[in-house]
Amino acid sequence: FPVTISGLKDAIANGSSVSKDITLSPVYPADFAIASFNLDIGGLTLTAHVKTDDTVTVVLANNTGSTVTLGAGVVYIRVYPR
């Protein structure tokens, strides 16, 4: 599922994160989710998990030691049934 994510143009401070809920169907909380991004994420950690039925949450966490600014990009999500 490719999903365009906007709103990432703001700086992500060290020690903080940004998240986005994405509606995908059908997915369920026990399913496995992974994500990738089409741009360099500058050392950020990108994770995905199924939050609720039909909702995947993507999180970019910054533990790099400095502020990172990303542009809008495309997140690719893959969900594997449990």
Whether residue 72 has pLDDT greater than 90: no
31 burial via Cβ count (<10 Å: 0-12, 13-18, 19+): middle
Whether residue 7 has pLDDT greater than 60: no
pLDDT at 1: 65
pTM of the prediction? 0.86
Distance, CA of 78 to chain centre = 11
CA dist 82 and 72 (Å) reads 31
Tens-place pLDDT, residues 14-63: 999 988 899 999 999 999 999 999 889 999 999 999 999 999 999 999 99
Whether residue 6 has pLDDT greater than 70: no
20 burial via Cβ count (<10 Å: 0-12, 13-18, 19+): middle
Whether residue 8 has pLDDT greater than 70: no
Radius of gyration from C-alpha coordinates of the chain: 13
